[in-house]
Amino acid sequence: MAAYDWFFDTVGLREWCNATKSEGTMSMADLLAKANGGAAETSWWEVPFPSLDTLNKSCEAVIRTRDFTASIEQAFLGVKDKMKVVLDPLTQPLSWMLDGALSLFVGTPWWLLIALMLMLTYYASRNVLVTIFVAFSFFLLAFIDHYTYAVQTLSIIFVCTILSVLMGVPIGIAMSKSNTFQRFTIPILDMLQTLPSFVYLIPLIFLFSVTESKLYGIAIIMYAIVPVVRLTDLGIRLVDKDVIEAANAFGMTSRQKLFGVEIPLALPNIMAGINQTIMMALAMVVIASLVSAPGLGTLVLRGIRNLELGVGLVSGFAIVLLAVVLDRVSKASLARINAAQSH
């Protein structure tokens, strides 16, 4: 006698239960119960929660939880091939970009790449101290033989940030223009931001093979695009209403208004979003080493897998250093833009 037999008897579903015998394999608990010579009467104190598995014991027409998860998997596998037909060509350029950037970054001689990065840093921030700090960091990383790993990580962040900005800014603009679109988008952004990073990887692993770099590219972009979208939307909504009114009063077209007024005035906020996007891309690229993303994350992984404490700690330090470098450079550029248009 199982705990909920009385329920199916009184409601009159007994026949329906007996008509469809489930043919699933027996669980360990079932086997144990069988071995004990059938379930004993349960006292009211020990009545189990009417979960799928419990109900299944009383009525075999009710599916078990593992059948349920299996059916989700089946459904997913069922649409997988169809989705791949659409998604594969669509996302293929991402693989090329990631691989291209990777070989470009790694293939460039170290002295040239560091020089270029220092020039870029100075051009973006106009700040000598920040440039010196970046130079120091790279020489330090190179000195402890983490240069290649750091550059691999950097190339992935580079590609993913650019793509996040290219897609995120237009989405943010559309959100700022349409309240309906904003209402529809915000829950998605909330979900992307609150999902634990590992959960992203699960459906992606099914969809794409782990050997393809777009797998981690997509995971990183989905995670990192959120702040730039949010802050573009916010920035454009916060543009001074008086200035917008002046733009309208002088007959600007929406296009002139967007590029001549709204985006420039929202730029400090958009840049703050890009700063956060870069930091989130870095966080995700470390986790993405689980699915074959190269870079500093692989060293952390090695530290965990092989219990190589030193490797893990040093690569962790390298990641922190890289994070500080990226943060300082983007913040310094942000400060420069703010200074240029403070009111």
Partner 1 sequence: MASDYTLNKASVPAKVVIKDLYKIFGTNPKMGLQHVRNGVNKTDLLDQYGQVLGLRDINVEMGEGQITVIMGLSGSGKSTLIRHLNRLIEPTAGEILVDGVDVMSYSKSQLRELRQSQMSMVFQKFALLPHRSVLVNAGMAMRIRGEEEDAINAEAYKWLERVGLKGVENQYPHQLSGGMQQRVGIARALTSNAPIMLMDEAFSALDPLIRTDMQNLLLELQKDLHKTIVFITHDLDEALKIADHLVILKDGHTVQQGEPQDILLNPCDPYIEDFVGDINRARVLRARSIMLPLSGELPSDTQGQVDHDDTLESIIARSGGDISHGFIVTKEGTPVGTIDMTAVLKALVPRISTDTGVRNY
- With beta carbons less than 8 A apart as the criterion, state whether 298 and 286 touch: no
342 binds partner 1 (CB under 8 A): yes
d(CA 334, CA 232): 14
- With beta carbons less than 8 A apart as the criterion, state whether 153 and 326 touch: no
264 binds partner 1 (CB under 8 A): yes
- The tokens for 338 are 């703010």
Shortest Cβ distance from residue 268 to partner 1 (Å)? 10
Pick the piece of the chain touching partner 1 (CB under 8 A) from 120-128, 178-186, 218-226, 248-256.
248-256
Shortest Cβ distance from residue 110 to partner 1 (Å)? 39
Pick the piece of the chain touching partner 1 (CB under 8 A) from 154-162, 168-176, 243-251, 314-322.
243-251
Q: What angle do CA 265, 267, 272 make, to 5 degrees?
A: 135
Q: Of 134, 138, 156, give the one whose Cα is nearest residue 147.
A: 138
128 binds partner 1 (CB under 8 A): no
Identity of the residue, 217 or 268, whose beta carbon is nearer to partner 1 in the bound complex: 268
d(CA 166, CA 5): 60
d(CA 49, CA 52): 9
Contact pattern from residue 221 through residue 240 relative to partner 1, giving x for each residue in contact according to CB under 8 A and a dash for the rest? -------------------x
193 binds partner 1 (CB under 8 A): no
Pick the piece of the chain touching partner 1 (CB under 8 A) from 3-11, 168-176, 219-227, 257-265.
257-265
22 binds partner 1 (CB under 8 A): no
Give the sign of the dihedral formed by CA 249, CA 255, CA 259, CA 265: positive
Identity of the residue, 241 or 305, whose beta carbon is nearer to partner 1 in the bound complex: 241
Pick the piece of the chain touching partner 1 (CB under 8 A) from 85-93, 146-154, 242-250, 318-326.
242-250
Identity of the residue, 84 or 126, whose beta carbon is nearer to partner 1 in the bound complex: 126
Position among 20, 92, 256, 306 found at the interface with partner 1 (CB under 8 A): 256
- With beta carbons less than 8 A apart as the criterion, state whether 278 and 330 touch: yes
265 binds partner 1 (CB under 8 A): yes
- The tokens for 1 are 């006698």
338 binds partner 1 (CB under 8 A): no
- With beta carbons less than 8 A apart as the criterion, state whether 146 and 314 touch: yes
Q: Which residue, chain included where needed, has tokens 């020489």?
A: 139
Identity of the residue, 304 or 340, whose beta carbon is nearer to partner 1 in the bound complex: 340
Shortest Cβ distance from residue 339 to partner 1 (Å)? 11
d(CA 239, CA 221): 27
Pick the piece of the chain touching partner 1 (CB under 8 A) from 55-63, 123-131, 255-263, 283-291.
255-263
Taking each helix axis as running N to C, give the angle between helix 214-237 and helix 179-194, from 0 to 180 degrees, rounded to the nearest 10.
130
Position among 251, 305, 307, 310 found at the interface with partner 1 (CB under 8 A): 251
- The tokens for 14 are 């007994």
d(CA 114, CA 151): 10
Q: Which residues bind partner 1 (CB under 8 A)?
A: 240, 242-243, 245-246, 248-253, 256, 260-261, 264-265, 340-343
